[in-house]
Amino acid sequence: MAQARRSSHLAANGPQCERLWTIREVSDFLAIPVATLHQWRYLGTGPEAFRVGKHLRYDPDVVRSWLAEQCVRRPGV
């Protein structure tokens, strides 16, 4: 549900950053494999990404917000 809200917000307003990140840059920032980002995108669990032509791009602010949400301790986890 939160993913759908973020998607509609980003689609309506577009990215609010100066420069978008490539999947490799997000991989480096999060210190995870690119394949994990692809899997998360398929499952709808990772940071929101979008296509610019055939290229996958990430808004750095969205990635940072997603990471902050993941760092919140959840009950029962």
Residue pair 25/62 in contact by the 8 Å Cβ criterion: no
pLDDT tens digits, one per residue of 43-57: 999 999 999 999 999
Percent of the chain scoring above 90 in pLDDT: 66
Strand ranges inside 17-66, DSSP E: 21-22, 50-52, 55-58
pLDDT tens digits, one per residue of 63-75: 999 999 999 866 6
What amino acid is encoded at 66 in this protein?
W
Question: What is the dotted CATH code of the domain comprising 2-71?
Answer: 1.10.10
The domain segmentation of the chain, as residue ranges, is: 2-71
**What does the pLDDT read at residue 14?**
62
